[in-house]
Amino acid sequence: MSNSYRVAILGATGAVGAELIELLESRNFPVVELKLLASPRSAGTSLTFRGETLPVEAVSETSFDHVDIVLASAGGATSKLWASKIVAAGAVMIDNSSAFRMNPDVPLVVPEVNPEALNHHKGIIANPNCTTILMTVAVWPLYQVQPIRRMVVATYQSASGAGARAMEEVKQQTLAILQGETPKTEIFPYPLAFNLFPHNTPINELGYCEEEMKMINETRKIFGVSDLMISATCVRVPVLRAHSEAVNLEFEQPLSVEKARHILSTAPGVELVDDPKANYFPMPIDASGRDPVLVGRIRQDLSHPCGLELWLCGDQIRKGAALNAVQIAELLVEKQLLGLRR
């Protein structure tokens, strides 16, 4: 990465935006100019990058002129509004929303799984859903050795998945409950402190919520297997940061626990945390603020000879969002795939 690039962060004042700024600096991404963009409500503030104070600007028609890469994390409606203008300006948009994930012309990329999908981008690249990213990083190395017939996953999703305001809401709810007061809800439909509930996205006619369908459809697209059998149950839990998932895998042929442990111990983006004697396995508190997906509790499924169980935790804001986007940007630079159209 010898050249330098002009980067814009759309949604710079959010939780993921803050993480994007930190990652661009800590990973020494070759940024020659960084634009921080947000809604007019958030404009006028300032943030720090490499010791320099940068203003947050209100996104406008000219915001993407002379920009090479746009890291977008401002929601689907905002991404749809600005996508065509970003592409027309000659920039590549790496979008963290769900707006373009299932568009057949838009690559949906997890760098450890399907980096080759970037070769066919047309100016927009989609970042998968956080739970999908974490699961595919852990499952793909096993899938490459032994094809998987069926996946069943239950997620335990932290407040961070709903943004910085949701995390603050859980803190305030916790204080209220401990003081004997009624907790207030604004971001979530129900109190999350000392509570949990099925994921609060719309339910379809089959009884699955939107978050569950994202995991099903996105994993099929990333793996390139349109008929892969997947079932998901997504749950919000009173954890501030880092998601957890219990994953049941049915392989076409048996895969031993020992071999699975060996595969995952050297898999990119994975850290094996599997100590049955100490009863020590991945926890959100250990995954928070870290890059790898922690995987452990690997065991034989006693109900099926070709089944394995595993447990994982990963930081939703880092690998589940910002880190994956920055890794995509790094691959674009490394492979010279920015394809500027000026």
**pLDDT tens for each residue of 217-227:** 999 999 999 99
**pLDDT tens for each residue of 257-296:** 999 999 999 999 999 999 999 999 999 999 999 999 999 9
The pLDDT, as a whole number, for residue 342 is 39
**For this structure, is 120 an active site residue?**
no
Active-site hit among 121, 234, 243, 313: 243
pLDDT-derived band at 341, boundaries 50, 70, 90: very low
pLDDT higher than 90, residue 337? no
pLDDT higher than 90, residue 43? no
CA distance 133 to 127: 8
Residue type, 262: H
Domains and CATH numbers, the chain: 3-126+320-333 (3.40.50.720), 130-157+195-312 (3.30.360.10)
**Annotated binding-site residue? 180:** no
Q: What is the mean pLDDT of residues 110-124?
A: 96
**For this structure, is 243 an active site residue?**
yes
3-state secondary structure at position 187: coil
**Annotated binding-site residue? 16:** yes
**Annotated binding-site residue? 48:** no
**Annotated binding-site residue? 106:** no
The pLDDT, as a whole number, for residue 1 is 43
CA nearest neighbour of 50 among 7, 93, 10:
7
Active-site hit among 130, 199, 234, 313: 130
Which conformational region is residue 278 in: left (phi greater than 0), alpha (psi within -120 to 50 degrees), or beta? alpha
**pLDDT tens for each residue of 178-221:** 999 999 999 999 999 999 999 999 999 999 999 999 999 999 99
pLDDT-derived band at 339, boundaries 50, 70, 90: low
**Annotated binding-site residue? 63:** no
**Annotated binding-site residue? 15:** yes
CA distance 198 to 59: 35
Q: What is the mean pLDDT of residues 294-308?
A: 98
CB within 8 A of 229, min separation 6: which ones?
149, 150, 151
